[in-house]
Amino acid sequence: MHGKIALEEAFALPRFQKKTQWWASLFATDPAKHAKEITDLTDTRIKYMDQHGVGYTLLSYTAPGVQDVWDPKEAQALAVEVNDYLASSIKAHADRFGGMATLSMHDPREAAAELRRCIEQLGFKGVLVNDTQRTGADGDDMIFYDGPEWDIFWSTVTELDVPFYLHPRNPTGSIYEKLWAQRKWLVGPPLSFAQGVSLHLLGLVTNGVFDRHPRLQVIIGHLGEHLPIDLWRINHWFEDVKKPLGLKATCEKTIYEYFAQNIWITTSGNFSTSVLRFCLGEVGADRILFSIDYPFESFGDACEWYDTVQLNETDKKKIGKENAKRLFKLGGY
Ligand code: GRE
């Protein structure tokens, strides 16, 4: 399929080459190749895109990124540097690339202001945040964005009318020590990423963020971070037990309604035909978006799978490109 749009696609700053290699050595079988690919924003990518029928890519800063920086000033400076670097790197290729804003999530007002700058001045199409923001004197604490103090931020996201991508990051500090240190092979895609994002997303749902901001659009990757398989059970417990106990005060609609009105899932890093089919039934073709997760996954694996997966033509176009065009308002593309 030609003209596919991909939107969970990572880059890193060249000045972090060493850090990038170290990070890649944790999971990439060829860390040097990975580090090279992730620091190349356009040239290698365009070759892969042309080879595999990807017309347009939305680029975002790699995990854990700014969410790993617990000093608020340092985090804000890095976010601004990343956004300016991304804008200047893709400027000459506006027909092939769009930007997702990177934000320091220490302060809701500061995050909202940088998002506004990215959308209104740099022309970015959305925002991607890597789960919770590390905070505290030694970075061992974390900030969730589901409390009322974040309403100012979510109001800005909906006013600017851009989607918010909730991407995973690795567990750190005492959480890492308690849960994952003795189970280190489960960190990342096998388990910890999905646990982190599904907790945070259901926090947004149950703490009333979507009730207070009904137009908010949040995207999660990897075919829904394990949530679609559990929707029936979540719904059953919310509606039959938790709401009578008080959940109704902050969560008026059903989990199915939030998935139909506020939540999107992408195929990033999850190229399973049976899971996609399951998600078509549970989430629906109007809320699924093609993505790769490059360079953590390959163009070949993602695109050869998607190009040959048996779907009706309407759904294939929706998921491959039409939904993303609509959501990100890529009219001219
Ligand atoms: C990511 O998307 O950020 C990621 C990692 C590490 C492994 C896989 C992956 O940071 O998708």
Residue positions annotated with a catalytic role: 251
Tell which atom from ligand 1 comes closest to the C-alpha of 62. Answer: 3
Provide the pLDDT for residue 153.
99
pLDDT of residue 332: 65
CA distance 31 to 15: 16
**Above pLDDT 70, what percent of the chain?**
99
- Atom 11 of ligand 1, nearest CA residue: 296
Residue 245 has pLDDT above 80, yes or no: yes
Say if residues 146 and 200 touch (Cβ distance below 8 Å). Answer: yes
Dist. CA 89 → ligand 1 center (Å)? 22
* C-alpha 11 – ligand 1 centre gap (Å): 11
The pocket around ligand 1, CB under 6 angstroms, is made up of 10, 27, 62-63, 188-189, 269, 293, 296
Q: What is the mean pLDDT of the chain?
A: 97
Dihedral pair phi/psi, residue 56, rounded to 5°: -145, 135
**Rounded-to-integer distance, Cα 290 and Cα 248, Å:** 34
Q: For residue range 300-322, list pLDDT tens digits in order.
A: 999 999 999 999 999 999 999 99
Closest residue by Cα to atom 1, ligand 1, is 63
Q: What confidence category does residue 92 fall into, taking pLDDT thresholds of 50, 70 and 90?
A: very high
Please write the tens of the pLDDT for every residue from 109-160: 999 999 999 999 999 999 999 999 999 999 999 999 999 999 999 999 999 9
Residue type, 186: L
As a whole number of Å, the end-to-end CA separation of the chain is: 16
What pLDDT band is residue 264 in, cutting at 50, 70 and 90?
A: very high
CA 189 to centroid of ligand 1, rounded, Å: 7
- pLDDT digit string, tens, across residues 40-81: 999 999 999 999 999 999 999 999 999 999 999 999 999 999
Rounded CA separation 246/38 (Å) = 46
Q: Which pLDDT band holds residue 22 (cuts at 50, 70, 90)?
A: confident
Q: Residue 250: name the closest of 286, 205, 215 by CA.
A: 205
Predicted confidence at residue 170, as pLDDT, reads: 96
Instruction: Specify the residue with its C-alpha closest to ligand 1, atom 3.
Output: 63
Q: ipTM of this model?
A: 0.95
pTM value is 0.98
Ligand 1 atom nearest to 189, measured from its CA: 8
Give the range among 28-37, 62-71, 164-173, 263-272 with minimum mean pLDDT.
28-37
Cα–Cα distance list, 224 to 119, 132, 195, 327 (Å)? 26, 18, 11, 17
Exposed / middle / buried, residue 79 (Cβ in 10 Å: 0-12, 13-18, 19+): buried
* Residue with CA at minimum distance from ligand 1 atom 10: 63
- Does the N-terminal peptide bond of residue 64 adopt cis geometry, omega within 30 degrees of 0? yes
Tens of pLDDT along 181-219? Answer: 999 999 999 999 999 999 999 999 999 999 999 999 999
Report percent pLDDT > 90 for the chain: 94
